[in-house]
Structure 1
């Protein structure tokens, strides 16, 4: 099974999207997070699409930096589950 991260990456490469400029990806991630917030406030019907964009940019950054985002999310969930607060 191909990971979501890999699918996102392969599409970026196929479409000729940015695959090298990490600061640009972080800026785009921020823009997409802001767009998701605006959708939540003003156009809830677009919230799912905007949140999906946030995930796509996060997955791209993970791929660009050599991280396995699925693994990192699992580790973080386990860490949060173990917290007592």
Structure 2
């Protein structure tokens, strides 16, 4: 699945379930909570690390959607920029 598809599917799920789609500061707080959960899973060597990182990725795409950004485009542009920077 590409990032753009992930962004659309995740957003459609938020809309369908009537989750937050307008409060951007709240979404950033939720992202911080999910990142903290991922760190805790890593620190405890939990099998849940992958699931927690997936939550982080989904919240990033939710924030992008709220901000009118296409994360597929943004990530590709950033990878290209990083590749052209000297080491």
TM-score past 0.5 threshold: yes
Deviation at 1:83, TM superposition (A): 1.0
Compute the TM-score of the two structures, normalised by the length of structure 2.
0.92
Equivalent residue pairs, number: 85
- What is the root-mean-square deviation of aligned Cα atoms in Å? 1.4
Q: Which runs of 5+ in 1 are unaligned?
A: none
Higher helix share: 1
RCO higher in structure (CA 8 A, sep ≥6): 2
Q: Which runs of 5+ in 2 are unaligned?
A: none
Compute the TM-score of the two structures, normalised by the length of structure 1.
0.94
* Deviation sequence 1:24-75 (CA, Å, 0-9, x none): 0001001111110110110430000000000110010011110000100000
